[in-house]
Amino acid sequence: MNQILSGWAALDSRRKMIVALAALAMVISFATILRLASSNDMALLYAGLEPATAGEVVAALEASGTAFEVRGGSIYVDASVRDSTRLSLAAEGLPAAGGVGYELLDSMSGFGTTAQMFDAAYWRAKEGELARTILASRDIRAARVHLATPPQQPFARPQPVTASVTVTPARGAVDTAQAQAIRYLVSSAVAGLAGADVAVIDSVNGVVLAGEGGSDSGADPAAADPRAAQMKANLERLLSARVGPGKARVEVNIDADMDSQTITERVIDPTSRVAISSDLEEVSESAEGNAGGAVTVASNLPAGDAAKDGAGTQSNRSETRERQNFEVSETRRERIIQPGQIRRISVAVMVDGITTVDGDGGRSWAPRPEEEMAALRELVESAVGFDPARGDRISLQTLEFPAAPDRGTTAGAPAFSLLDGSVLGLVQTAVLGIVVLLLGIFVVRPLLSRPAALPAPAEADLPALGAAASAAEAIASAAPAALPTPEHTRIGKLRDLMTDRRDESADILRRWIEAPEQPEGYSR
């Protein structure tokens, strides 16, 4: 201990500062080692929870005394207790997914519960159960369901039941197929709810499917006519077999007539008649009488001129009538034109050229030959049912595709793939220990092992020091011829040392001269 204190006292201020900084670095390194050795490996417990749900999870962890860390919107716990913590929280119903469900009805008692209260709790439980079912999909991160059920009143027209579903996708956007599935799920779970009355809303990208009377602004335009998507997929599969996957881009546009028509047609052929009935009628009439004369008074008397006149008249009439009924050929046609009749098809196809690599690794691009392009065009026309009379149009071009940039990092095994987290912690601790050891050996130890600087001589000792220096110079200048070469003898080494360090040599001689004489027989 005395040696350490004397060595510290012999150091100047600069060396003391270096030693203090080295000691501080050693303390910090040891503290870091202890912290790394005592710290636990934290693993992700939950992420992406709603603020209210995350607060419930944090409160449960604090109540159970489990150590945790909150990093942004994620909750981390010790990796050794992560699975058991999840099971414990699940037993408590945490995190609550989609709100409460039918368990809400379990807490209701018959006393003090009115019909309105029960109906409100029932529809709230129904909304929670539907939200839970929607959240079962891995593509949905959050979901809310709202059901609008108007009360049934007597002497009033029934109001339709409507619903709206708001979903937050886990990644990307909610496509039309997913929205249709959600709409079908909700409409099937609620009695009296039509699918057209369910609106599906993406909280990030807007309306996906609107209810009755709305417009699907967020719907995929390509999904309006599924024939275009199917035709596009068929063309890409056909072209990739020749030009390679990813080297063909196809866009198909179908102009369809969405009007519905009903056409009724009646055609009568007058030349094709058939007699179906015939009716013949004959009429004969015969009449006889006297020829009348002039009307006088004598003709009206019984014995007058009328009795004397005996001439008479006679008439006959005969009539024949025939009627025939014919049936003519009649054709009736009724044609119903459904919406979706194709009026025109437009296809745009872009294929990559031919890329060759020379011996030096250089890449050169060239367009595809005309013969190949003509063959590809013929294949495209056959695949889409090309009709020039209908006004169809096909554009086929060969262009250079830019090279896709490399994204992410190349997958590969890490340098220490066989080491788990605990072994890596030990490796870090060992590295820090080696650094501290090297710091102590190569920095602190040389500073402490250097000899202390000798004090400057007093002014009273200058004459003696001068004499001693003269004697040292005389000794150094005297080189006996009988002695060997100075470089190979101890005296030569001592002479060189005294020449290099004259002040220290003079001080040693001064101390030796001023030292008291020792009695005979004394050995030190």
The pLDDT-based confidence of 473 (bands split at 50, 70, 90) is low
Which tops the pLDDT comparison, 389 or 424?
389
The helix or strand, by DSSP H or E, that contains position 385, with its residue range, turns out to be: none
Residue 452: pLDDT band by 50, 70, 90 thresholds?
A: very low
Taking CA atoms, 194 is separated from 39, 134, 146, 179, in Å, by 58, 18, 15, 15
SS3 231: helix
What pLDDT is stored for residue 142 in this prediction? 84
Which secondary-structure segment (H or E) carries 487?
Answer: none
Separation in Å, CA 129 to CA 192, 203, 288, 495: 18, 20, 108, 102
- Omega cis (within 30) before 169: no
- Dihedral angle sign, alpha carbons of residues 190, 195, 196, 201: positive
Q: Which of 46-60, 212-226, 431-445 has the lowest mean pLDDT?
A: 212-226
pLDDT (0 to 100) of residue 246: 83
Number of separate helices (H) and strands (E) present in the chain: 15, 14
Q: Quick one: average pLDDT of 318-341?
A: 84
Q: How far apart are CA 401 and CA 353, in angstroms?
A: 8
**Comparison of pLDDT for 104 and 341, the residue scoring more:** 341
In the numeric block, the tokens 């979706």 are attached to: 340
For range 217-228, the mean pLDDT? 58
Assess whether pLDDT exceeds 70 at residue 456.
no
Residue 265 has pLDDT above 90, yes or no: no
pLDDT > 70? residue 309? no
pLDDT score recorded for residue 378: 93
pLDDT score recorded for residue 292: 56
Nearest-5° Cα angle at 62, 41 to 39: 20
Ramachandran sector of residue 129 (left: φ over 0; alpha: ψ -120 to 50; beta: rest):
alpha
CA 144, CA 133: separation in Å to the nearest integer?
A: 11
Lowest mean pLDDT, pick from 314-328, 386-400, 445-459: 445-459
What is the average per-residue pLDDT within 422-444?
67
Question: Which tokens is 239 given?
Answer: 């072209």
Q: What is the DSSP letter of 395?
A: E
Amino acid at 168: T
| pLDDT in the model for residue 235 | 92
Instruction: State the burial class of residue 179 (Cβ atoms within 10 Å of its Cβ: 0-12, 13-18, 19+).
Output: buried
pTM above 0.75, yes or no: no
**Cα separation, 348 vs 395, whole angstroms:** 5
Highest mean predicted confidence (pLDDT) among 230-244, 300-314, 412-426: 230-244
Name the nearest CA neighbour of 20 among 35, 7, 8.
8
**Out of 12-16, 201-205, 427-431, least confident range:** 427-431
Q: What is the pLDDT of residues 88-101, one digit of tens each?
A: 888 887 776 656 67
pLDDT in tens, 269-284: 877 777 788 888 888 8
Tokens standing for 434? 């080696």
Helices (H), 386-489: 421-439, 445-449, 462-477
* Closest C-alpha among 446, 449, 440, 420 to residue 30: 440
Q: Is 60 exceeded by the pLDDT of residue 21?
A: yes
Q: Over 50: is that where the pLDDT of 335 sits?
A: yes
Q: Is 158 left (phi over 0), alpha (psi -120 to 50) or beta?
A: beta
Residue 139 in this model has a pLDDT that exceeds 50: yes
Lowest mean pLDDT among 293-302, 401-410, 494-503: 401-410
Question: How many Cα neighbours within 13 Å face the side chain of 63?
Answer: 9
Helix (H) or strand (E) holding 268: strand 261-290
Q: Decide if pLDDT at 164 tops 60.
A: yes
Distance CA 377, CA 397 (A): 10
Quick one: pLDDT band at residue 186, thresholds 50, 70, 90? very high
pLDDT of residue 26: 73
Is 373 strand, coil or helix? helix
State the DSSP code for 444. Answer: I
- Token representation of residue 342: 């194709």
- The residue ranking higher by pLDDT, 8 or 88, is 88
Q: Lowest mean pLDDT: which of 56-70, 123-137, 207-221, 462-476? A: 462-476
Find out whether 211 and 198 touch, Cβ atoms under 8 Å.
yes
- The packing angle between helices 490-500 and 502-514, to 10°, is 110
24 vs 421 pLDDT, higher one: 24
| Burial class, 266, CB count within 10 angstroms (exposed 0-12 / middle 13-18 / buried 19+) | exposed
Stretch 232-252: mean pLDDT, rounded? 90
Longest dimension (CA), the chain: 234
CA distance 404 to 406: 7
Cα separations in angstroms, 363 against 4, 240, 399, 404: 72, 21, 16, 15
Q: What is the pLDDT of residue 394?
A: 93
CA distance 335 to 247: 45
Percent of the chain with pLDDT over 70: 70
C-alpha closest to that of 144 among 188, 191, 96: 96
Q: Which of residues 279 and 444 earns the better pLDDT score?
A: 279
- The per-residue pLDDT of the chain, averaged, comes to 75
The pLDDT confidence band at residue 303, using thresholds 50, 70 and 90, is: low
Q: Which residue, among 54, 185, 203, 73, has the nearest Cα to 143 in the 3D structure?
A: 203
Q: Are strands 162-169 and 198-202 parallel, antiparallel or unpaired?
A: parallel
* Whole-angstrom distance, CA of residue 76 vs CA of residue 84: 13
Q: How far apart are the first and last CA of the chain?
A: 25
Cβ neighbours, 10 Å, residue 505: 20
Tally of residues, the chain: 524
Residue where the block lists tokens 């057209």: 196
Beta partners for residue 342, in sequence order: 256
